[in-house]
Chains A and B, each alone.
Chain A
Amino acid sequence: MTSLLQSLMSESILVVTALLVLGLGVSLPKARPLITAITILGGFVAAAALLLFPLDGNFLHGMVVLDPLARIFKLVILGLTLVAVVLASESFPVNHFAESLALILFGTIGMMLLVGTEDLLMIFIALELTSIPLYILAAFDKESRSSAEAGLKYFLIGSISAAFLLYGLSLIYGVTGSTNLPEIARLSGAPDPLLIAGIVLTLAGFAFKVAAVPFQLWAPDVYEGAPTAAAALIASGSKVAGIFILAKLLTSGLGHWAGAAGWEQFLPGWAPVLALMSAASIMLGNITALAQSNVKRLLAYSAIAHGGYLLLGLCSATTDSLTAVLFYVVIYALTTAGAFGVVAIVEKQRGGSRLDDFNGLAKSSPVLALCLLVFFISLAGIPPLAGFFGKLYLFTSALANGQHLWLVIVAVAMNAVSLYYYLIVLKHAFVLIGPEDVRPANAPASQVLVAFLALAVLALGLAPNLLLTPLSKDKTTKVAALTTDHLP
């Protein structure tokens, strides 16, 4: 029991912080800076607890599993929460401010539990603990119709996806007789048709979470309508946690049943499903983004496309490609959180996030425009930024699998298309002339944070080893331990 409490120390700290924040919101509703400061402090204490008392091991039969890799991802999630909390004072309504921060913390606890588990039941519970606060956060701006619409759509589609996921997990449990991933992996042999059905249903549930085609319809409306801080958390933190646990589930649980997704050489398993969803997401996301006039919507379609790239790496399922996926999802989350930060500040300045609202940004706030440049160029994958190295590593490691040349060709061709719409945003910011009477942005904390994120994206592009070494050196970790010998 004590060791269980120790293993969940940082999560417990976050729970206490969230309760404190809720209490303060009731007793001192006007003290918004104090509440924000306490939330951030709680996040830092939780991160310090992770760093100072590292604990490895398996608690309660795999319900809580801690290893260095999970610790890195918990830290990344805490960092993304920090971004959402700082942006919250820009984009959430003044009423019920403390509740919004407490909900962000509750969602973070869910994501951290999700990263550190190896049990199907715990995966489901943690996913719900992540999703339910995010549904509420998406609908948090009570006076905005589009926020209510975003919340309702996200909630309805999210609950349906949870039903799919639960049904799939129950079928997997029914066939394998265990909810523990390593136990499930002990079973091998030809897949039972029922198991294949379970895998496909589970993948459908996860595809909703990462917004892969054909389950992507909620993403644009939610990203556009939700308060920007909530959208930033949905796009970054929940995506990191979702991709991480999907990778863990597929490799350390269902690694025997990958199947194959080579061109005209499909074998049943999860790889062909992922490959098809990946190709469809990459094509639809990138092409539909061309027609967008709202930057948040554009980021949503870009998120669909990037979800496709990540699935490409997952379905290749080599040690290298999985490391590349984990590297890329962290880079993508940092970049997209930064991009949403810029959008939040511009929205506060000019009252909207249409492309026209970005006109003349380089003149009115040059640093912000420079950050925007860094983020969007990195999303497009141009050296020397982190997005370039991430894509390079992802695509080359997917090629090493030997079967996915067709998928990599689709991804690279569509990546060229994506450059166009990222540059359109930059054209509005740097070339077009904006209105004269723009107030300078009054959001110091958010601006510092956005600049810091831009520096991080640049630094990880110049020295990717900073992140790559800790991700790949740890051979004991479950995901890295997977080798191609599971594949046929």
Chain B
Amino acid sequence: MSSYLLLTVFLAIAIIFPLIPLALAWIWAHLFSPAKPGKDKQSIYECGIEATTPAHVQFQSHYYLYALVFLVFDVETVFLLPFAAAFLKLPVSAFLALMVFLLLLVEGLVWAWAKGILIWK
């Protein structure tokens, strides 16, 4: 049971640890800092520059599709590198298996291309 005691201690520390700075900030705000609200102080903070438009704007979901297609080939590299390093020691079946894997990815790209996903609208 002693191992669970240790876990309980960890849990207690994990809860107390973030509470301390929060409590300090609250105490500081209430005891020392003078309350002087103003237009600049209450505006939304965006990297220090004055906000010109509301934050809720739409942007193209195309970025997401590009990222997905990119990710596929990113992962492909991870598999191709060790394959290339051990190429001479591998049997024919491993070569075939990797070619099938590449075919799967390439067909995915061809499919996305034919569906017009790569055209920027």
Residues of A within 8 A of B (CB): 1-2, 5, 15, 19, 22-23, 26-27
Contact = CB atoms under 8 A, between A and B. Distances in A.
Contact of A26 (B93, B97, B103, B110): B110
Contacts of A22: 107, 111
B94 interface: yes
Contacts of A26: 110-111, 114-115
19 contacts: A1-B91, A1-B93, A1-B94, A1-B97, A2-B93, A5-B93, A15-B104, A19-B103, A19-B104, A19-B107, A22-B107, A22-B111, A23-B107, A23-B110, A23-B111, A26-B111, A26-B114, A26-B115, A27-B114
Contacts of B111: 22-23, 26
Question: For the complex, would chain B's binding face be called helix, strand, loop or mixed by DSSP majority?
Answer: helix
List 3 tightest A-B contacts by C-beta distance, closest first.
A1-B93, A26-B114, A19-B107
Interface in B83-121: 91, 93-94, 97, 103-104, 107, 110-111, 114-115
A19 B108 CA distance: 9
Contacts of B107: 19, 22-23
Nearest to A27: B114
Given A1-B93, A26-B111, 10 more contacts: A1-B91, A5-B93, A15-B104, A19-B107, A22-B107, A23-B107, A23-B110, A23-B111, A26-B110, A26-B115
A72 B39 CA distance: 72
Nearest to B97: A1
Interface residues of B, number: 11
A23 B115 CA distance: 11
Nearest to A23: B107
A23 B94 CA distance: 25
A179 to B, nearest CB: 22
Interface in B4-37: none
A23 B108 CA distance: 10
Nearest to A102: B111
A27 B114 CA distance: 8
A27 B111 CA distance: 10
B120 to A, nearest CB: 20
A26 B104 CA distance: 15
A446 B18 CA distance: 61
A15 B104 CA distance: 9
Nearest to B3: A194
Contacts of B104: 15, 19
Contacts of A15: 104
Interface in B66-96: 91, 93-94
Contacts of B110: 23, 26
A26 B115 CA distance: 7
A26 B93 CA distance: 30
A1 B95 CA distance: 11
Contacts of A2: 93
A15 B108 CA distance: 13
Contacts of B103: 19
Nearest to B107: A19
A26 B114 CA distance: 6
Nearest to B104: A19
A320 B111 CA distance: 49
Contacts of A27: 114
